[in-house]
Structure 1
Amino acid sequence: MKKMTGAYTYLTVLLIALLSYNDMMAQNTAFYPGKLWFDNNQRLINAHGGGILYHDGQYYWFGEHKGEHSNAAWVGVTCYSSSDLYNWQDEGVALAVKKDDKSPIAAGSTIERPKVIYNAATKKFVMYFHLELKGQGYDAAHVGVAISDTPKGPYQLIKNSRVNAGKWPLNVTTAQQTATDKPEDYQWWTKEWTKAIENGLFVRRDFESGQMSRDMTLFVDDDNKGYHIYSSEDNLTLHIAELTEDYLDYTGKYIRIAPAGHNEAPAIFKKDGRYFMITSGCTGWDPNAARLLTADNILGEWTLHPNPCVGKDAELTFHSQSTYILPIAGKKDAFIFMADRWKPSNPIDGRYVWFPIVFEDGMPVLKWFDKWDLSVFD
């Protein structure tokens, strides 16, 4: 009996081990918003503030590599690939930080919200990201631009700067350009100060050095024109800037959106010729209510609408913040709202919250799902 008991014990342990292994190796067939999400190596997917590129039948997810104790960039931008969006293969570091402290992307700098687009004419993959220089807090407010010959990288930094130095937004009036008031003339967070921001106070302040660029995304329109959408003017106003044909610079055309509206985390998509943008307010790492803006022309007038989230915790965007909106390849009018749950006390544990965008009366609506899959779009 002892020998038999020992055999049963061994078989039981073996069976548990096999079941555990099978569970680990099982393929995902659905999305579970806010739950732990593992890659092909059974490690947590580490791609925060991310965006997705679809190229030649594959999806590539780029995001911030986070550690347990710091939001600074100690590794760089990571890349994962997938053919089905449920299961992701670790492709390594797409843009690596440098050991040289003189480098703009030195280890310990801030690299946030990386996005990649493909330029068919140059056959280059172009990455933009929000960059803060090491040791300077959030004062730099730069955009970093890097390129690669392959979607997975490695990407090489080619430039970093503020945006459109010496250029006025298309929707700034002559009176706003020539006003002589200065930031020191006002006390922050007063009605007078807010009105001055609306009238271009910070645009004038940053005219020579270039406009600040923080939370950001990229968008390529149907005509292949590229656009950089970013939070500017100390996160008080969104800008949309048109890119050159090679996506490596700016044409000088840009607009301000919702001046003094305090928007960040822009995510944009287009449906039936209309542009939709979901943003958030600015409450540090804490969640708040999402905002929805629409326009008939990407460089035209944008209209603010109520929070597109509905249901429990809608006022907190389900405890998350927008990072990107992904059109699903091969499915008409199918879009995934990608968001992050930031956790500054343990950044690597920031969870991903993805939802299908549903439409009611032609407007996007976000609802909570404990579990969902792509059949929702069918």
Structure 2
Amino acid sequence: MAKEEKTFYPQRVWNDTEGNPINAHGGGVLYHDGVYYWFGEHKADTTCSAMVGVTCYASKNLTEWENKGVALAVDADDSESDIAMGCILERPKVVYNKKTGKFVMWFHLELKDKGYESARYGVAVSDVVTGPYRFLRSGRANPGKFSLGVTAADIAALDTLVEERLAYRTAEWQEAVKQGLYMKRDFEGGQMARDQTVFVDDDGKAYHIFSSEENLTLHIAELTDDYLYHTGRYARMAPGGENEAPAIFKKDGTYWMITSGCTGWAPNEARMFSASHIMGPWKQHPNPCVGTDAAITFGGQSTYIIKVENRKDAYIFMGDIWRPEHPNDSRYLWLPIRFQDGRPVLEWMDSWSLDYFRVK
């Protein structure tokens, strides 16, 4: 096998086993029965709208990827469908439910021709890991529910917050956001759900983590045992902190989350948080990136963190280098995570291999 087939080259074009560029952006990786499955957005050349859907690739070594086709197709026939061709379908993540034997996909959805005003999640399910996945529904998250820890006094205080009376970006507005200005606004119809991921904990409980409240606050929402619905229990993380692109992993009992700021398609400085319980409280740490271009996350943005099987303390930061003028030419930014004084660190490498990690 050629060396190049065993090596990760961040920023370069990555080809599948047939020699075609891999088209799976904003994605995540599921490990199942000895195989890694990479799900991501199929991007067109001139639009970020979804013209195909979610693609799936399979690999046993994380470097050679076989195209398994379209796992979830957009609806080309029904323009009124939630997932009509031309909608915005982003950041798909697939998890396996051991109790039901189903594969469940969650994603961020914006209805066709609505820009980014819909701010919905979408859910699809399949009996087979590669699909096809059957679309179930889309919606806003946890309607009629306040976040964990909100007291009767807090709710009374929230009743005094009126968005129209607050000057945007003032100190008063910022404090109101932290208190729950937009959570209160969206209480009845449900909370906004944009950039997202799904995390399955050691006990089998799953959590949907997404940017909410006009992308100002992250929500960590517990899922039902079948992973198909929210339970109504959720926590607000870094209220008013403007975080998106959440990527989470757990090591030695500590939850780590890497996010980005909200600067559209332009890269920015990564943020990092830790907690001893997934519902918080979360502590913010300095930017995990070090070295040249650390202040712009090496030109990329987080999307997922892969746990490498059969390697000790082996985690891969999975990101995207967006090219909105030609979305299908967006590049993949995968880097090994090293630990310094117990904290995750990301350092640029022109190339690297799984030999970076020790075999168990």
**So what's the TM-score if we normalise by structure 1?**
0.92
Q: Among residues 132, 143, 146, which one is paired with 2:121 in the alignment? A: 143
> What is the CA–CA distance in structure 2 between the aligned matches of 1:48 and 1:177, rounded to whole Å?
40
Residue in structure 2 matched with residue 327 of structure 1 by the alignment? 307
Residue in structure 2 matched with residue 34 of structure 1 by the alignment? 11
Deviation at 1:371, TM superposition (A): 0.7
Equivalent AA in structure 2 for residue 266 of structure 1: P
Is there any run of 5+ residues in structure 1 with no aligned partner, and where? 1-21
> What is the CA–CA distance in structure 2 between the aligned matches of 1:161 and 1:272, rounded to whole Å?
35
Deviation at 1:171, TM superposition (A): 2.9
Residue in structure 1 matched with residue 22 of structure 2 by the alignment? 45
Q: Among residues 217, 220, 229, which one is paired with 2:209 in the alignment? A: 229
Aligned residue runs from structure 1 range 98-113, under 5 A: 98-99=75-76, 100-113=78-91
> Which is greater in Rg?
1
Contact between 1:254 and 1:299, CA under 8 Å: does it hold in 2?
yes
- Secondary structure in structure 1 of the residue aligned to 2:89: strand
Deviation at 1:153, TM superposition (A): 0.2
Q: Among residues 143, 163, 167, which one is paired with 2:145 in the alignment? A: 167
Is there any run of 5+ residues in structure 2 with no aligned partner, and where? none
Q: Among residues 37, 42, 47, which one is paired with 1:60 in the alignment? A: 37
> What is the CA–CA distance in structure 1 between the aligned matches of 2:240 and 2:277, rounded to whole Å?
21
Contact between 2:29 and 2:36, CA under 8 Å: does it hold in 1?
yes
Residue in structure 1 matched with residue 133 of structure 2 by the alignment? 155
> What is the CA–CA distance in structure 1 between the aligned matches of 2:17 and 2:166, rounded to whole Å?
54
Q: Among residues 282, 303, 306, which one is paired with 2:262 in the alignment? A: 282
Deviation at 1:128, TM superposition (A): 0.1
Corresponding pairs, count? 355
> What is the CA–CA distance in structure 2 between the aligned matches of 1:94 and 1:147, rounded to whole Å?
10
Aligned residue runs from structure 1 range 111-260, under 5 A: 111-178=89-156, 179-180=158-159, 181-260=161-240
Residue in structure 2 matched with residue 10 of structure 1 by the alignment? none
> What is the CA–CA distance in structure 2 between the aligned matches of 1:50 and 1:355, rounded to whole Å?
15
> What is the CA–CA distance in structure 1 between the aligned matches of 2:60 and 2:341, rounded to whole Å?
32
Deviation at 1:27, TM superposition (A): 6.6
- Secondary structure in structure 2 of the residue aligned to 1:248: coil
Contact between 1:65 and 1:77, CA under 8 Å: does it hold in 2?
yes
- Secondary structure in structure 2 of the residue aligned to 1:144: strand
- Secondary structure in structure 2 of the residue aligned to 1:318: helix
- Secondary structure in structure 2 of the residue aligned to 1:366: strand
- Secondary structure in structure 1 of the residue aligned to 2:72: strand
**CA-atom RMSD in angstroms:** 1.2
| Residues 1:269 and 2:249 aligned together | yes
> What is the CA–CA distance in structure 2 between the aligned matches of 1:175 and 1:34, rounded to whole Å?
50
Equivalent AA in structure 2 for residue 58 of structure 1: V
Deviation at 1:197, TM superposition (A): 0.3
